[in-house]
Amino acid sequence: MKTFEIYKIRDMELKNRIVMPPMCMYSADREGFSKDFHFVHYATRAVGGVGLIILEATAVTPNGRISDNDLGLWRDEHIEGLKSIVEESKKYGAKMAVQLAHAGRKCEAEAEYIVAPSAIRFDENYRVPKELSKQEIKEIEMHFKEAAIRADKAGFDAIEIHAAHGYLINEFLSPLTNKREDEYGGTIENRVRFLKEILQDIRKVWPERKPIIVRVSASDYAEGGVDINEMINIVNQIKEYVDMIHVSSGAVVPAKINIYPGYQIKFAEKIKQECNIPTIAVGLIDKVEMVEEILGNERADLVALGRELLRNPYWVLENAYEKGIDIDFPEAYKRAFM
Per-residue confidence band for 90, with pLDDT thresholds at 50, 70 and 90: very high
pTM of model > 0.85: yes
Tell me: the pLDDT tens digits for 247-272? 999 999 999 999 999 999 999 999 99
User: What is the CA angle 5-311-87, rounded to 5?
Assistant: 60
Residue 21 · residue 54 · CB < 8 Å: yes
- Give DSSP secondary structure letters for 305-337: -SHHHHH-TTHHHHHHHHHT------GGGGGGG
- Per-residue exposure over 88-117, b if at least 16 CB sit within 10 Å of its own CB, e if not: bbbebbbbbbbbbbbbbbbbbbebeebbbb
Q: Which three-class secondary structure state does DSSP give residue 175? A: coil
Residue 106: the pLDDT is 98
pLDDT for the residue numbered 249: 98
Q: How far apart (Å, rounded) are the C-alpha atoms in residues 245 and 214? A: 5
Instruction: Give the model confidence (pLDDT) of 223-253 as tens digits.
Output: 999 999 999 999 999 999 999 999 999 999 9
Of all residues in the chain, what percent are helix, strand and coil, respectively (each to 5)? Answer: 40, 15, 45
Q: Per-residue pLDDT tens for 9-63?
A: 999 999 999 999 999 999 999 999 999 999 999 999 999 999 999 999 999 999 9
Q: What pLDDT digit, counting tens, does each position of 313-333 carry?
A: 999 999 999 999 999 999 999
Q: Is-contact 132 182, C-beta < 8 A? A: no
Rounded CA separation 238/251 (Å): 21
Query: Which residue ranges form the domains of the chain, and what is each CATH number?
Result: 2-337 (3.20.20.70)
Give me the chain's average pLDDT, please.
97
Segment 158-165 mean pLDDT: 98
CB under 8 Å to 136, separation ≥6 — which residues? Answer: 115
Q: In 157-219, which residue ranges form alpha helices assigned H by DSSP?
A: 168-173, 188-205
The arithmetic mean of pLDDT across residues 145-169, rounded, is 98
Q: Report whether pLDDT(338) > 90.
A: no
Q: How many Å apart are CA 52 and CA 127, to the nearest integer?
A: 36
Measured distance between the N- and C-terminal CA atoms of the chain, rounded to whole angstroms:
20
- In 3D space, the residue among 90, 71, 91 whose CA is nearest the CA of residue 81 turns out to be 71
CB 305 within 8 Å of CB 315: yes
pLDDT tens-digit series, residues 270-312: 999 999 999 999 999 999 999 999 999 999 999 999 999 999 9
